[in-house]
């Protein structure tokens, strides 16, 4: 059972491409991700914050979820499904302890964003991505799109949150 669980985790990590490297601030990439033809949007590093999260295990990252203006407006208006043009960007960094902060706190308790690991995008286009309920996915490592055909398997993982238009992240008030 434990083995199955780990294989499942590995499958999810590979399939949903949760470990990729994010590029320098605002750097756009001209290369399109192969599966959905999505490019890294210019200025995404400047987008507004949706929420933050931490993944343990093999991911071992701390992440910020940002949204373009269409995404942010939809979140704040609690509008579902998300309108076409919505782009949600997940930026992740290696999860690292902060010795500097821990000295101030007097105990090991502080964890920060280390080196960048990944950027994932969810792009809403109800016509273009009709086959995947209107969402196209992309993954970028150091600004370069992920080549794997496994990207196609991202979508099924989002099925449990179909009621929220397949988006896991909730807006942090």
Shortest Cβ 35–a second copy spacing (Å): 20
CB-based contact 64:47 (threshold 8 Å): no
Q: Which two tokens stand for residue 139?
A: 């993954």
Is residue 119 involved in binding a second copy (CB under 8 A)? no
Quote the CA–CA distance of 86 and 70 in Å, as a whole number. Answer: 5
The DSSP 8-state label assigned to residue 133 in this structure reads T
Quote the CA–CA distance of 81 and 63 in Å, as a whole number. Answer: 24
Is residue 153 involved in binding a second copy (CB under 8 A)? no
Nearer to a second copy by Cβ, of 63 and 124: the residue is 63
Is residue 127 involved in binding a second copy (CB under 8 A)? no
- Among the listed ranges 32-40, 90-98, 121-129, 143-151, the one in contact with a second copy (CB under 8 A) is 90-98
Among 28, 32, 42, 46, indicate the residue that binds a second copy (CB under 8 A): 46
Enumerate residues 6+ apart whose C-beta is below 8 A from 28.
39, 40, 41, 42, 43
**How many CB atoms neighbour CB 78 within 10 A?**
7
Is residue 98 involved in binding a second copy (CB under 8 A)? yes
Q: Which residues bind a second copy (CB under 8 A)?
A: 5, 8-9, 12, 22, 24-25, 45-46, 48-49, 51-57, 59, 62-64, 66, 76, 91, 93, 95, 98, 100-101, 103-113, 116, 157, 160-161, 168, 170-173
């Amino acid at each position: 059972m434990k083995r199955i669980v780990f294989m499942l985790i590995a499958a999810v990590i590979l399939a949903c491409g949760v470990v990729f490297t994010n590029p320098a601030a605002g750097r756009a990439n001209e290369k399109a991700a192969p599966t959905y033809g999505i490019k890294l949007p210019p200025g995404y590093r400047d987008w507004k914050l949706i929420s933050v999260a931490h993944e343990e295990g093999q991911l071992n990252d701390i992440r910020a979820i940002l949204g373009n203006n269409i995404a942010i407006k939809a979140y704040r208006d609690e509008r579902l499904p998300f309108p076409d043009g919505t782009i949600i960007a997940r930026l992740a960094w290696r999860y690292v302890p902060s010795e500097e902060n821990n000295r101030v706190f007097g105990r090991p308790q502080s964890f920060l964003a280390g080196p960048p690991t990944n950027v994932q995008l969810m792009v809403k286009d109800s016509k273009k991505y009709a086959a995947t309920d209107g969402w196209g996915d992309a993954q970028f490592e150091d600004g370069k799109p992920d080549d794997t055909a496994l990207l196609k398997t991202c979508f099924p993982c989002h099925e449990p949150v179909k009621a929220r238009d397949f988006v896991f992240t909730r807006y942090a008030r």
